[in-house]
Structure formats: structure tokens, C-alpha cells
Structure 1
Amino acid sequence: MTDSHITQDGTGNPVAPEGTRTAADVVTPELITRLTRGVVGSGTAVSHTPFTGEVLASALPESTPEDVATAFENARAAQRAWAATPVRRRAAVLLRFHDLLLSRQPEILDLIQLETGKTRLHAQEEVQGVAIVARHYGRKAPAYLRPKGHLGAVPTLTKVTELRQPRGVVGLIAPWNYPLQLSVGDAIPAFVAGNAVVMKPDTETALSALWARELMVEAGLPAGVWQIVIGDGPVVGPAVVEGADYVSFTGSTRTGREVARAAAARLVGCSLELGGKNAMLVLHDADLDRAVDGAVRGSFASAGQLCISMERLYVHESIADTFLERFAARTKAMRLGTALAYGAEMGSLVSERQLETVTRHVDEAVAKGATVLAGGRPRPDIGPYFYEPTILDGVESPMAVCTEETFGPVVSVYRFGDEDEAIVRANATAYGLNASVWTKDARRGRAIAARLRAGTVNLNESYAAAFGSVASPMGGMGDSGLGRRHGSEGILRFTEPQTVAQQRLMPLGPAFGMTDEKYADFMTRSLRALKALRLR
């Protein structure tokens, strides 16, 4: 890795020095031994770094279904005492974790980069996201979980309290593309709600999750409350679903359907964040410079391996030529690289499989008549899975890139004449995860956002504004999933609501010598009075 350099796309000229650390400097045998202490596994798994394709960790404990069952036993044993811990003490763990994460972020930035191939800035976005989530639930969890009083069947005589009980042990299956954000970031509300977690990270990015677990234990989480199991998805994933009291899954729509069916068969709940074919709408009055920068970030962050990234770009025909000229120039100038340092603008795809998908989508589109405005080729001179950030024009519906999720640094551009047309075309997909609208007229932008079929819509931003606003729910419609992370829904999904109703003075039935007829008449008059008093 030390012989590679950051290059400017299209020129091959070095523009920034390589970081001095190598994979061997960061991922040492001592680190692996430390991070995997207590992980249940009877086999050995191997991970690789996308920067070179070489082995990154060669001694990860691989779990069998029997090992997963043991992890659930350990988690259940630890969960009982954790659930009995006052919620403010559980929340305090999150706030200590927040501080530890920010003070020790260089360690996790190296691991995220080495495991995913993304740039340091995009890795740092994960740190930002997790810190925001930890702070939010560290401050707000007691309010989200506090007992709530409700109007009873008979005012004054019936006292009703809603309690929030932890589900027990949550099975969390995390993907490879955001190994910190989508592992500990999703586990945080489960923990503070009083649950234990059995997590299956992707094997290729398990070190980031293991590092986060070590830091959370240092912050005060009992070690048994967070169990991590490592192994192939088809082997370990079903075992996690089989043992869980609730399942949280982030990944492909195809696998998400399998998870949903398995959870439903056991009558346990699940939340699923799945794929997306997200649309960005650039209206005629958009600030073009801001919109171009937003398109670059939205399309090529983490090399496009982001569920909420932009893959379809709709531009008003009156500004399309000017916008695309600037967008293409900006894209061609992006710096690609492998340095464990700030400076590169885009990193690598994660694997040969992702590279094959991206290459197939682009090559097929070009063969069927699409035009490449920027990029369009792999860059093995930088790393085995690098692909240039790519803009395609002239894409039509028979092309796979038009309707299928590419999950890579590829965006297709389309022109539109009026806003109604753009909205219809943006909604013409089975997915509904994220969208983006660019206009100087905030009022019109909000009106358009309300008509888009997407769980989150960003105005004059691509994805970060909605995703970073963690007091509000985030998730997808349609084939993009079920349930929401963040906000009240993000924590209450990990709880079972329990209603405790106390009846006082008289029963809800004939009393004081009433006949059935007199009781029925009394209740009828009472119900009419309650409606007249506008009680709910």
C-alpha cells in the first residue's frame, strides 16, 4: 500500500502524499486478540482490505449455529440485570461512549478505511453519525421510555399507565458498507432500552464492530450484554433470526424479505432498512454551484456504496446543459486514493463482486446507447476494486442501471420539462428510501418533498441533513424496508408496550345493587356525557 498514491482522475498525476501507516501497522495480532476476547466461535474467518485485496485479519473466530445459540444464552443471562439498571444509568453509558469515541477516533478511522476502502472523510462521517446518536439517546432515552398516563375507561375511576418493557435480546444483522454507523449506531437505542444484543457484522468489516464493542464496554456496558458472532450470512444469519426476540436488519431487499418471513414465522417483530434507487431533483431556480457539489457528495460518497446515495438525477431542461457541464468537470477532477489520511475524495469499491456489478451496469448502458459524461472505467492502477465516479446520460428503462440498485459510483441523468413530470418519474420505482430537491424556493421545495414517495427527503442537501437529524425517523417505503431508526420510533421498536390499568371505587360492571338493565342505562348515559364533554 505504501507504493500507491492519490491520483487525480484522468491524469494519473500524484496530488497528495500517501499516509505512512500500512495495514500491518494497524491490524496487529495483538489487536485481533484483544478485540475478539470473549467472542464465541469455533472456527477461523479471514477478512481482506479492498485497497489491495490482501488479507487484513486472518484469525477471526468464526461462529457456527451452535455458537450463536451460546451467544444468545450469554446475552439472556446478562440482559436481566441490565434491564433492572435504571434507565438514567444506562443512558450515562452512552454519553461516556460518546466522549471516548471522539477522543479515540483515529483508531476507528484507520479500521473503517482498511475494511471498506472508503476515504478518511467518509469514514469520519460514520464517527459523526454514531456520536450524534449516542448523544441523542443518552439525553432523550429517559423521556422516550418514561411511564405515560392515559385517560382510562372511566375518568377518575380508571387509572392507566403505559410502560415500555425491553424486548429481551435483539438480533442485529449489520452490513459491510457502514460498519460503525450501522452496527453500534443501531445497537445504541436497543441497549438503552434495556435489551441485550447479538450482532452479526459482515465478516469483512467485523473489526470495526469489535472495536466499538470494546469501547462501549469501557464506557460501562456489561460485556455480556453485547455478543458478536462472525460467519457467512447464509449460515449465521438465520441462527441470529431464530434466537432473537426482535430483529434489526440492514442490507439488500432480497435478503430482507427472507428475514421478514423468518421473523414472521416466529411471531417476532423486525425492522428492515433495504435498498434504494434514490432521486435528486434539480429545479430551474436551483443554485447550480451548490447543486453540483451536492450531486458529487450525494452520488459518490463512500464510492456510492450508501443506501441513501443518489443514483438518479433529474435536471430541469432549462439548466441541464450548464449543470451537467459543471457536474462532469467536477467529477472528472475528483481525487481517488488509498491513503490512511485526509485528502482523497473517493475511495474503493469493497469487493470484486461490487466492481463486477458496477462494470456490468455501465457497460450494458453504453452498449444500448447511453453516453458517458465522466468516468466509465475501472482503475486497477490505484487498487483492484477502484472504479471512476461515473455520470451516464441517455439512460433508458431497458437498461439495468435505470431501475436496479447499482450501489456504486454511478449516477444516471435525465431532463424534465415541468415539476409534475419530475415527481412522477422520481416516484416510478419500487424503492422509496431517500430523495433530494434543489431549489431557492423553500416553500415550493417542501411542497414537492411531500409528494415524493420516500422515507426521507432533503432540501438543498443530498442525504446528510435528514440522516443527521436523529430526533426524526429515518427509513424507507415500499421495497426500501419496514420500520424506522432514529427518534422515538428508533428506540420504541426495541420495546414492548405494556398497559397497566387500575380500577378504583367501583367495578366496570353492575354494582351497588344495580340490575343489568340499570347498569346498561347508566353506562349509555355516561358515554353520551363523555362525548359531550369532548373527552377522548
Structure 2
Amino acid sequence: MKLRSVNPATLEVISELETTPVDEVFEISKKAQEAFKKWSSTTIDDRLKLLKKAKEILYETKDEVAKLITLENGKPILESYSMEIFPTLDLFDFHIKNAKKVLKPRKVRSQIPLFWLKRNYIHFEPLGVVAVISPWNYPLLLPIAPIISALVAGNCVIFKPSEYTSLIGLKIYEIFKEAGFPENVFNIVIGFGDVGEALVNSEVDKISFTGSTKTGRIIMQNASKKPIPVTLELGGKDPMIVFDDVDIDLASSAAVWGAFANAGQTCVSVEICYVHEKIFEPFIEKVVEKTKKLKIGNGLDPDVEIGPINNEKQLKIIENQIQDAISKGAKVLTGGKRIFPKDKEGNELRGYFFEPAVITDVNNSMLLMKEETFGPILPIVRFKSEEEVIEMANSSEYGLSASVWTRDKKRAQRVVEKIKSGSVLVNECVVHYGDAKAPCGGVKSSGFGRVHSELGIYDMVNVKFESFDFISPYRLWWFGYDAKLLETIKNAINFLYSPSFVQRLKSAPSLAINLFRKNESKV
């Protein structure tokens, strides 16, 4: 079957690709399992050498990769560098500098004195073959995090990019192949949902999925049949909370960028802006003014700030949400419709362009207040008090990210602690996903598990406890139960855990006598 890679700005076909036959996916997973036997026994130093090489190749080809991202995904070329290349190189750096320390076995001493003769360790072992299934909105950054974490931990990977950004997926594959990763250690499958389904049901030991909540639930159901672990980074309805003590000019610029960067197609973008009633009108005025100035067009133009929606399916979702909101009384202050901007030569672009929209008079019956929009729509809602806005923000079924804007440090801390979300930023938004040391993930219907940071690496391992005992002559807790042993156990409990110091002293002599007296009746 053929898959067409299309430029969303011009609707021109960039390339036609052969999809991976569904019946071959299982065989690919079997070969990966075989490769795992050898790959998992390689040293962390050997894996890091290959990772360094992959990073060097990405850096050397960054201009080619950035252009390909803009061609196939549609985002402005500046964002291809700032929101894809930049943080991806940082992810490589983080793993290269920290993975060895993170994965180093740890010696653990028991809290219980009876176990002090044992030598205990925590080891971090690879899981096996990890399926990484990623979306089209950040086709380089989003898959790279779990891919790197999985590989450096000693796993093999099968990567399925979105059908809308398969060329970028193939470029990632080429980079790792050129870096020298052994055959069948890093694999790629290309195709539509049937290929993804085949991958989920193949011989994999872990699934890392980024995408819609609906698909994530299906994947979790399939994974539970084996069962195997899953990491799910799903939809979001991220609130931006703006209090009345902010710099309105600063906060309004944040709202415009946070809502409309990558044409709003960002997991952690600002999806709803809650503004205190005292500054509601001037804040909206600023947001509308700045939104109208945004330059829309082909992302290859370095001056363009808003590129196209990536695909027609997503465009229809955005249009449907706008129409639903208007039918229920919402007021569109600017934008909110499909447009056909002109390029530098004056030619009309026929791609999936949508004019960024600022909307007020919204209510919770509207789709854009309940469902993830994933597009350039910013509903702005008035609030009166801190308590009210926290309740509003937490009413969503999602909990991926949030931002709080205020100059009051104590208020900021109070609100942050009460927001139910995987991350909360104060006087900033979105950018934490570009920080390799910031763990990213959600709660509620936004999923579970984490990518980035050491937690992203631990997400790709089996945490194995190992205990060695070559000294203890016998074990007090083994069979041979009698009244004397019962008294010894009671004294041990009193000695270790009694809140009374006197009680501890009283239990010590009897415990010492019986603890080291060998019980001949032991089984």
C-alpha cells in the first residue's frame, strides 16, 4: 500500500512511501527480540558511543532536518529549530551526560537490623522490545525522548511515526542507522492505524504512546491482555490562569504564543485562558491586537509565525468546535475561519490554514471547553476569585499542564499546589517540554508515566531488587515456631518501634539473649 507525504501548506505531494505490510510487523518484533539478547548485554559505554554519534549526525544535518519538518509538518522554520532541533539535541546531551549515573546499580542497606548481614542492591534492567508510537505535531522531539531512553537502557525499539510525518520518521531511522546501531536494534514501521495495531499486538514488552486519549485507551486495553507496561501521554486542556497583579502586556504575549505556537498543535499549549475580572477587558484588547498582527503563511518563509494545520482531519475538528461554540452563543473577536494566504510571489496557498481565533462568552456546554482543540483557538473566561478559578481549572477531565500568572509568590504557591496536573508553570508556559531535565506527563485522562529526566529512563527499565546473604547462620523467622520465638518477635517489635524509650530498654536484654540463641527445632 502507498502512503502519500503531503505538504500541508501547499497540498503538494512530497513523496510516496511503501507502507510496512501488516503481516511483517510481527516478524520485525521477533527479530528485535533476537537482537535484544545481544544488545542488552552491551555496556552502557558502548551504547553511549553510538548515541553520541547519532547526536553528531543530527547536528550536522540540522538544516536538512529542520526544512523537512517544516515541509511535512507545516510549522514555521524558526519553530522547527527552536521547538524541535534545539530540545532534541538537549535530550541527547542529557542522556549522554547522565544515563550512566542514573542506571548505575545502587547498594541498599535495610532499615531492619536483622537484615544488616545481607548485601542488597537495586539493578536497572532493560525490559526487552519497546514500541514507540508518536504523533505528527512534533515529529522529531516527541519520539526521540522515549527512543533514546529505551536504547540507552539496553532495550530494542520499534518506532511507528504518524502517517502524516513518515518522512521525518524515516530520517530519524537513518540517523540511528548511520550512527552504527546494530541491525534490528532500532526498527521502523510505516503505515496507518492497522500497522500501529499490529505493532501493539506483536512481540513487544512495553509501549510508549503519545496521541489522543481515545487511541490511548484502546492501546491500554490491548496491552492489558498480555499484560505489558504502557506509558501514555494523551490529550490536554491546559489552563492559563491570569491574576489581576500581572504585567498585562507580558501575560497577553504569553497567551498569544502559548495558544498559537505551532498553530496551536501542541500537547501543552494554552487551551483555555482564565482572566481575573479586574483586568479582563484590557487583557482581551491586548490579546486581540497581538493576534491580528500574526503573520500566516508557508513556514519556509522565516517571517511566518503561523503555519498550516497539519491535516484535513484536524482542520475539520477545529472548524466543528468553532461552529458549535458560535451556535451556543460564543463571540469570536478575531479569526476563526479557514483562509488562503499568499506567498511572497503573490500566489494563493491552498493548504490547511486557519486564522487564529480569540473567543469569549463561552460556557461548558461547548465542545471547545470540554474537548482538546489542538488548533489555534483561544477561549478567554472571566473569574472572580482564587477559589473559583482553581475549581474551573480542575473541572476538566484532563490534567497535562497548566500555567499561573501572578507577582504574588505566596498565591502562586497556593494555586500550584491545588492544580491537578502533570506540570504547572508560574509566569511561563509550554517551554518545560523543551527541558530535558523536566519530567513530562499527565494525570487523569491525560495519561500516566513520564518522559524526559531520569524518570523517563526509569520508565524503560525493570527495577530489580537483589539480595545476597553468605553470613547468617540461620533465620529467626523460619519455621520452628514456639512461645519463645513469639516472645522474641514481640521484643524485637518493642525495641525497634515503641514510642516509649523505657519500653525499648526493657525489651533489649531478652531480645539479645534469644536473638543469638540457635533454635534446634528450626526446620
What is the TM-score normalised by the length of structure 1? 0.87
CA distance in 2, matches of 1:88, 1:77: 22
Is the contact between residue 136 and residue 161 of structure 2 (CA under 8 Å) also seen in structure 1?
A: yes
Matches within 5 A, 1:299-338: 299-338=259-298
Out of 105, 120, 142, the position equivalent to 2:100 is 142
Q: Report what 1:449 is aligned to.
A: 416
The 1:524–1:92 alpha-carbon spacing in structure 2 relative to 1, beyond 3 Å, is farther
Q: Report the CA distance between 1:94 and its aligned residue.
A: 2.6
The 1:121–1:501 alpha-carbon spacing in structure 2 relative to 1, beyond 3 Å, is same
Q: Give 2:18's aligned amino acid.
A: P
Q: Give 2:107's aligned amino acid.
A: G
Is the contact between residue 29 and residue 202 of structure 2 (CA under 8 Å) also seen in structure 1?
A: no
CA distance in 2, matches of 1:442, 1:449: 10
Is the contact between residue 295 and residue 327 of structure 1 (CA under 8 Å) also seen in structure 2?
A: yes
The 1:452–1:376 alpha-carbon spacing in structure 2 relative to 1, beyond 3 Å, is same
Matches within 5 A, 1:404-415: 404-415=371-382
Q: Give 2:371's aligned amino acid.
A: E
Q: Give 1:484's aligned amino acid.
A: R
CA distance in 1, matches of 2:32, 2:425: 39
Q: Report the CA distance between 1:315 and its aligned residue.
A: 0.7
Structure 1 stretch displaced more, 228-237 or 399-408: 228-237
Q: Report the CA distance between 1:322 and its aligned residue.
A: 0.9
Q: Report the CA distance between 1:283 and its aligned residue.
A: 0.7
CA distance in 1, matches of 2:471, 2:30: 45
Q: Could you report, residue by residue, the CA deviation over 1:200-235 in whole angstroms, capped at 9, with x for unpaired residues?
A: 111220111211222223334224211100111134
Out of 326, 329, 350, the position equivalent to 1:383 is 350
User: Partner of 1:204: helix, strand, or coil?
Assistant: coil
User: Partner of 2:413: helix, strand, or coil?
Assistant: helix
Q: Could you report, residue by residue, the CA deviation over 1:432-464 in whole angstroms, capped at 9, with x for unpaired residues?
A: 001011112233212211111110111111110
Is the contact between residue 171 and residue 241 of structure 1 (CA under 8 Å) also seen in structure 2?
A: no
Matches within 5 A, 1:76-155: 76-124=33-81, 125-152=83-110, 154-155=114-115
1:395 is aligned to 2:362: yes
CA distance in 1, matches of 2:489, 2:434: 51
CA distance in 2, matches of 1:194, 1:431: 33
Out of 50, 58, 61, the position equivalent to 2:8 is 50
Q: Give 2:141's aligned amino acid.
A: Q
CA distance in 1, matches of 2:58, 2:140: 11
Structure 1 stretch displaced more, 473-482 or 514-523: 514-523
Q: Give 1:267's aligned amino acid.
A: P
Identity of aligned residues (%): 35
CA distance in 2, matches of 1:63, 1:264: 25
User: Partner of 1:194: helix, strand, or coil?
Assistant: coil
Is the contact between residue 91 and residue 139 of structure 1 (CA under 8 Å) also seen in structure 2?
A: no
Structure number with greater Rg is 2
Residue ranges of structure 2 left out of the alignment (5+ in a row): 342-348, 502-523
User: Partner of 2:157: helix, strand, or coil?
Assistant: strand
The 1:450–1:518 alpha-carbon spacing in structure 2 relative to 1, beyond 3 Å, is same
1:178 is aligned to 2:138: yes
Q: Report the CA distance between 1:46 and its aligned residue.
A: 2.2
The 1:52–1:157 alpha-carbon spacing in structure 2 relative to 1, beyond 3 Å, is same
The 1:50–1:158 alpha-carbon spacing in structure 2 relative to 1, beyond 3 Å, is same
Out of 304, 307, 319, the position equivalent to 1:344 is 304
1:425 is aligned to 2:392: yes
CA distance in 1, matches of 2:382, 2:108: 52
Q: Give 1:119's aligned amino acid.
A: P
Residue ranges of structure 1 left out of the alignment (5+ in a row): 1-42
Q: Report what 2:151 is aligned to.
A: 191
Is the contact between residue 434 and residue 455 of structure 1 (CA under 8 Å) also seen in structure 2?
A: yes
Q: Give 2:7's aligned amino acid.
A: T
Q: Report the CA distance between 1:101 and its aligned residue.
A: 2.0
The 1:507–1:472 alpha-carbon spacing in structure 2 relative to 1, beyond 3 Å, is farther
Is the contact between residue 172 and residue 247 of structure 1 (CA under 8 Å) also seen in structure 2?
A: yes
Out of 381, 385, 401, the position equivalent to 1:434 is 401
The 1:183–1:328 alpha-carbon spacing in structure 2 relative to 1, beyond 3 Å, is same
Structure 1 stretch displaced more, 428-437 or 182-191: 182-191
Q: Report the CA distance between 1:275 and its aligned residue.
A: 0.4
Q: Report the CA distance between 1:49 and its aligned residue.
A: 1.5
Q: Report the CA distance between 1:118 and its aligned residue.
A: 1.0
User: Partner of 1:360: helix, strand, or coil?
Assistant: helix
User: Partner of 1:182: helix, strand, or coil?
Assistant: helix
CA distance in 2, matches of 1:79, 1:50: 38
The 1:65–1:524 alpha-carbon spacing in structure 2 relative to 1, beyond 3 Å, is farther
The 1:274–1:507 alpha-carbon spacing in structure 2 relative to 1, beyond 3 Å, is farther
Q: Could you report, residue by residue, the CA deviation over 1:44-64 in whole angstroms, capped at 9, with x for unpaired residues?
A: 322211112222211x23112
Q: Give 1:326's aligned amino acid.
A: K
Out of 217, 220, 237, the position equivalent to 2:177 is 217
